[in-house]
């Protein structure tokens, strides 16, 4: 059971704070108030869902009129968005954390990302998907991940792309390596204090040997050029 701080759950508060930092780093004009929960089931049944901010067709739904963030905490969310006149483009991915991720196009043309409830899953969704959308909206080229060797062997999960909390390091020869950290569960936020990058373990493999090259993403897409000179 979630402890409460006033009327805001601890998990919800952590997610909101995490998203506020992510949105700030994305260099958008969005503010913390632009991340909303979707309308509840009663609002949809009563026909009042269109009064929700995500149902408006004007630029109030985002800082620039083209992007909104919502909460995809349950399977009810797609129906709630459809009640707002949105087109659900996809819902649920073979990715962990972040499987419940949703992308919809609102009636006014804005993209709406439904991010998972756990703070880490929400951060992963924002980093890999919201970042990508913003780069496209800004006319920036696609981001290329770094390709770096694993410091030690790790186990993946066949059938799912695993996005792992990780940290950069150096081997004995001074080459940059990436270490997958312990505490990968999406509800564990303490390992984020040591996380400097996100490491991707592709779905096709169960075991990844030390030294194997994998895709690595820095915390913000604007940092991708920092390692250009050492990327294989």
Helix, strand, coil distribution of the chain in percent, nearest 5: 30, 30, 40
From CA 212, how far away is CA 201, in angstroms rounded?
11
* CA distance linking residue 64 with residue 222, whole number of Å: 19
3 state DSSP class of 7: coil
Quote the pLDDT of residue 59.
31
Report which of residues 134 and 95 the model is more confident about: 95
The full set of domain ranges for the chain reads: 4-137, 146-230
Checking phi first, is residue 127 left (phi over 0); if not, alpha (psi -120 to 50) or beta?
alpha
Instruction: Determine which of 16-25, 74-83, 116-125, 221-230 has the lowest per-residue pLDDT on average.
Output: 16-25
Percent of the chain with pLDDT over 70: 65
For residues 19-41, average pLDDT: 49
| Angstrom distance (rounded) from CA 47 to CA 203 | 42
Q: Where does 146-230 sit in CATH, by number?
A: 2.40.340.10
Query: Which structure tokens are listed for 92?
Result: 């649920």
Listed in sequence order, the residues at least 6 apart from 149 whose beta carbon sits closer than 8 Å to its beta carbon are 171, 175, 177, 178, 210, 211, 212, 213, 214
Tens digits of residue pLDDT in 52-69: 555 544 333 333 334 555
Question: Are 30 and 63 spatial neighbours (Cβ–Cβ below 8 Å)?
Answer: yes
Q: Which CATH number fits domain 4-137: 3.40.980.10, 3.30.565.10, 1.10.540.10, 3.60.15.10?
A: 3.40.980.10
């Amino acid at each position: 059971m979630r402890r409460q701080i006033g009327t805001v759950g601890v998990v919800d508060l952590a997610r909101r704070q995490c998203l506020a930092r992510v949105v700030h780093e994305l260099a958008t004009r969005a503010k913390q108030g632009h991340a909303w929960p979707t309308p509840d089931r009663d609002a949809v049944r009563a026909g009042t869902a269109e009064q929700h901010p995500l149902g408006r067709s004007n630029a109030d739904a985002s800082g620039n009129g083209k992007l909104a963030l919502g909460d995809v905490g349950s399977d009810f969310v797609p129906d709630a968005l459809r009640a707002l006149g949105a087109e659900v483009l996809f819902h649920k991915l073979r990715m962990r954390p972040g499987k419940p991720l949703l992308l919809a196009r609102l009636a006014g043309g804005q993209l709406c990302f439904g991010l998972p409830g756990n703070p880490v899953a929400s951060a992963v969704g924002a980093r890999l998907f919201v970042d990508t959308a913003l780069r496209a909206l800004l006319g920036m080229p696609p981001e290329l991940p770094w390709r770096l060797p694993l410091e030690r062997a790790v186990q993946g999960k066949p059938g799912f792309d695993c996005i792992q909390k990780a940290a950069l390091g150096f081997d004995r020869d001074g080459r940059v390596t990436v270490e997958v950290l312990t505490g990968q569960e999406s509800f564990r936020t303490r390992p984020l204090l040591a996380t400097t990058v996100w490491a991707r373990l592709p779905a096709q493999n169960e075991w990844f040997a030390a030294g194997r090259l994998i895709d690595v993403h820095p915390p913000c897409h604007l940092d991708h050029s920092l390692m250009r000179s050492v990327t294989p």
